[in-house]
């Protein structure tokens, strides 16, 4: 795909008008690693501004808990209530495994055909850092395009959950019914990040197990220290059935109640402000380090000094001091 | 402690002459976070050069395996053979726990009184990165002071083992006798880093258990993929008794044989070269990032832009691009 220098000027009004094709194209632009694309992406984000805001919901769940079915049912319910819903994915493993969550839109057949919904698979990028930047910029683009609920889906592995929690307003864990023993499988750190635990598959034969599991998680959540950003009763565990479309409205009401309480208490805006500052600082640090490899003159100097160090001609600290002095000039 | 601008010129010849007090003072200098001390530390390392080299041995073991007793016995044996032995510690937890491994020299009473030995406790620094830099620079200082064996001790927790493996020629795991079931407690990643596993306490009542444990580890090591840097029979597991001073000579002969084989095959120098280049690059990256907080003008600009981002006046990416442009000027 090519992007002319007029890309930002062309795309901005179309995104603000809610045009999905322009939004898709803009996300491809922010996913690009090319320096000229980066400059255009920055120009585009500058033009779009930061006025429009969605409720950003992080959703984590390991394969098999019924995440696609949940997003399909939950998304359709939101659309039915008049919301515009964007679904993004953070899957740092997709580059390795070849597959990607949300890669197959047929997994959310109804939602993907819905004009008020926008679904975007995870990009095939190896680095979590790259995925992070792309995703938070994609969130901004979706907000500018008028989507008022943005779901960010992630698989329950490694650091991707922390990453998603750091770019969302609410963080939801989707779980499957399980024996009491399996409860321990959820890491304490993940439990502490969760605002709600939804136990899915509370239907048919699994319903009793789902209700037991919900009660177990509710008990575990009560043992956690009360967080200042939580009203009474949160974090909470509830049982839902994505398949039978049961419990979804109640879960959504809970999410809205939690968000409303946090807005009223100032927690919501404070968290947004902290997140924005955090991403700004991360971006500066990453950009600074990127110069070491992208600037040809700096890169050549790094390699020459690195070779001298490897050959034992100079100490690492001495060569580093020389390089840093050169960078400061 | 104060360091005059003449510190480097004063300390260098005294360190090269093997004076332990000058060495101790120089390590205090490299541990300092002050910018002027850093400049002096770099000048000192430059003066000392990189000609003298020790065998650098990383030693990891959780509390209770008899690490101090092992270092005492192993160190005394080396000194008896005419070696000069330095012992350093990497303990990222010491800042939090208040205690520090090697903090109490009485734990190695004989070795600490030995003129051919030098023992230095872990500094109280919270950041693993800071401990890393200090330790590898301390290794260089010990080498310049004529110590030909440098032991770097670490507790078997978190990332400190990887860090120590990245700055040593050989990586040794010290283990206690255990039931077969406990074997699984050793993470695969740690096993893969180990060049030798020494099962300590092969004395008295524990001897049979130690021998069984050794056999278990030997079996586990055989299941690992053969590494190009290993001759036949390595990585290997042996049983030792630090208390009874048994098996230490054999273990040392094994270490020397492994080092000699790697030297002959070119692995030794290649690894050293890679490590030196790695530390140089790490130092440049850390130095570059440090400017964001140490340079008052840059810091002020970061804070102003960060506040604008937090207030929602500008997008993180846009502010970051502005900051990066300012840094490049």
Which DSSP state fits A34? -
Mean pLDDT estimate for chain B: 88
β-bridge mates for residue B229, sequence order: none
Strands B85-90 and B117-119: parallel
Q: Do B327 and A283 touch (CB under 8 A)?
A: no
Do A139 and A101 touch, CB atoms closer than 8 A? no
Please state the length of chain A.
329
Selected for mutation to probe chain A from B284, B297, B304 (highest A CB count within 10 Å) is: B284
Six token digits for residue A103: 């890669």
- The CATH 1.20.5.170 portion of chain A extends over 1-49
Of A276, A285, A309, the CB nearest to B280: A309
B16 pLDDT above the threshold of 90: yes
Residues of chain B in contact with residue A277, where contact means CB-CB under 8 angstroms, are 306-307, 309-310, 316
A95 pLDDT above the threshold of 50: no
Using a pLDDT cut of 70, give the percent of chain B over it.
89
Six token digits for residue B10: 């004063």
At residue A97 the predicted structure's pLDDT band, cuts being 50, 70 and 90, is very low
β-bridge mates for residue A119, sequence order: A87
Six token digits for residue B222: 């055989």
Of B274, B276, B324, the CB nearest to A284: B324
- Give the three-class secondary structure for A153: strand
Residues of chain B in contact with residue A318, where contact means CB-CB under 8 angstroms, are 42, 45-46
CB burial of residue A221 (10 Å; 0-12, 13-18, 19+): middle
Q: Do A284 and B315 touch (CB under 8 A)?
A: no
Please measure the distance between the N-terminal and C-terminal CA atoms of chain A and give it in whole angstroms.
37
At residue A155 the predicted structure's pLDDT band, cuts being 50, 70 and 90, is confident
Do B197 and B235 touch, CB atoms closer than 8 A? yes
At residue A278 the predicted structure's pLDDT band, cuts being 50, 70 and 90, is very high
C-alpha distance from residue B276 to each of A12, B129, B136 (Å): 48, 16, 10
Do A65 and A174 touch, CB atoms closer than 8 A? yes
C-alpha closest to that of A75 among A150, A174, A23, A18: A150
Rounded to a whole number of angstroms, the distance from the CA of B280 to the nearest CA of chain A is: 4
Do B101 and B91 touch, CB atoms closer than 8 A? yes
Six token digits for residue B241: 């008794």
Selected for mutation to probe chain B from A317, A326, A327 (highest B CB count within 10 Å) is: A317
Element (H, E) at A134: helix A128-144
pLDDT confidence of residue B12:
96
Please measure the distance between the N-terminal and C-terminal CA atoms of chain B and give it in whole angstroms.
38
A96 pLDDT above the threshold of 50: no
Residue with the bigger pLDDT between A310 and B63: it is: A310
- The CATH 3.40.50.300 portion of chain A extends over 50-264
Helix axes B35-48, B7-16, angle to 10 degrees: 40
Q: Is the peptide bond before B235 cis (omega within 30 degrees of 0)?
A: yes
Torsion angle of C-alpha atoms B30, B33, B35, B38, degrees rounded to 10: 10
A52 pLDDT above the threshold of 90: no
pLDDT confidence of residue B294:
85
Range of lowest pLDDT (A19-33, A283-297, B124-138) = B124-138
C-alpha closest to that of B136 among B88, B170, B101, B86: B88
Q: Do B287 and A319 touch (CB under 8 A)?
A: no
At residue A131 the predicted structure's pLDDT band, cuts being 50, 70 and 90, is confident
Residues of chain B in contact with residue A47, where contact means CB-CB under 8 angstroms, are none
Q: CA A124 to CA A105: how far, in whole Å? A: 16
Do B132 and B161 touch, CB atoms closer than 8 A? no
Do B310 and A274 touch, CB atoms closer than 8 A? yes
Do A160 and A90 touch, CB atoms closer than 8 A? yes
Residue with the bigger pLDDT between B107 and A109: it is: A109
C-alpha distance from residue B77 to each of A128, B48, B117, B248, B249 (Å): 48, 29, 11, 8, 8
CB neighbour list of residue B268: distance below 8 Å, 6 or more residues apart = B169, B259, B262
Do A154 and A91 touch, CB atoms closer than 8 A? yes
Using a pLDDT cut of 70, give the percent of chain A over it.
89
pLDDT confidence of residue A210:
94
Neighbouring C-alpha atoms within 13 Å toward the C-beta of A241: 15
A75 pLDDT above the threshold of 70: yes
List the beta strands (DSSP E) in chain B: 55-60, 85-90, 117-119, 149-154, 170-175, 196-199, 236-239
Q: CA B221 to CA A57: how far, in whole Å? A: 46
- Give the three-class secondary structure for A100: coil
pLDDT confidence of residue B98:
40
Of B48, B133, B316, the CB nearest to A276: B316
Fold of A1-49: 1.20.5
Of A307, A315, A324, the CB nearest to B284: A324
Q: Do A50 and B315 touch (CB under 8 A)?
A: yes
C-alpha closest to that of A198 among A247, A237, A171: A237
Residues of chain A in contact with residue B311, where contact means CB-CB under 8 angstroms, are 273
Fold of B50-264: Rossmann fold (3.40.50)
Do B258 and B234 touch, CB atoms closer than 8 A? yes
Q: CA A27 to CA A37: how far, in whole Å? A: 11
Of A42, A133, A310, the CB nearest to B276: A310
């Amino acid at each position: 795909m090519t992007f002319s220098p007029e890309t930002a000027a062309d795309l901005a009004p179309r995104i603000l008008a809610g045009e999905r094709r322009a939004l898709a194209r803009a996300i491809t632009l922010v996913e690009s690693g090319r320096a000229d694309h980066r400059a255009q992406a920055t120009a585009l984000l500058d033009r779009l501004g930061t006025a429009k805001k969605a409720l950003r919901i992080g959703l984590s769940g390991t394969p098999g808990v019924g995440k696609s079915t949940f997003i399909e049912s939950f998304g359709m319910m939101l659309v039915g209530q008049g919301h515009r819903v964007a679904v993004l994915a953070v899957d740092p493993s997709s580059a390795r495994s070849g597959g990607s969550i949300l890669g197959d839109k047929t997994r959310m057949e109804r939602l993907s055909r819905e004009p008020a919904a926008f679904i975007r698979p995870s990009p095939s990028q190896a680095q979590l850092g790259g995925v992070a930047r792309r995703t938070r910029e994609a969130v901004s683009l979706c907000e500018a395009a008028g989507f008022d609920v943005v779901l960010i889906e992630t698989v329950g592995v490694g650091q991707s959950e922390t990453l998603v929690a750091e770019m969302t307003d609410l963080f939801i864990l989707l779980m499957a019914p399980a024996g009491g023993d399996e409860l321990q499988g959820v890491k304490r750190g993940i439990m502490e990040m969760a605002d709600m635990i939804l136990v899915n598959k509370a239907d048919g034969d699994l319903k009793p197990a789902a209700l037991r599991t919900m009660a177990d998680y509710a008990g575990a959540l009560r043992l956690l220290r009360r967080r200042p950003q939580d009203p009474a009763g949160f974090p909470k565990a509830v049982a839902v059935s994505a398949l039978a479309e049961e419990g979804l409205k109640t879960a959504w009401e809970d999410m809205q109640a939690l968000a409303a309480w946090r807005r009223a208490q100032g927690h919501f805006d404070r968290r947004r402000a902290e997140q924005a500052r955090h991403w700004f600082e991360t971006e500066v640090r990453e950009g600074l380090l990127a110069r070491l490899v992208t600037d040809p003159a700096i890169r050549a100097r790094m390699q020459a000094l690195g070779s001298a160090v490897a050959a034992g001609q100079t100490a690492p600290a001495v060569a580093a001091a020389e390089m840093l002095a050169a960078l400061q000039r």
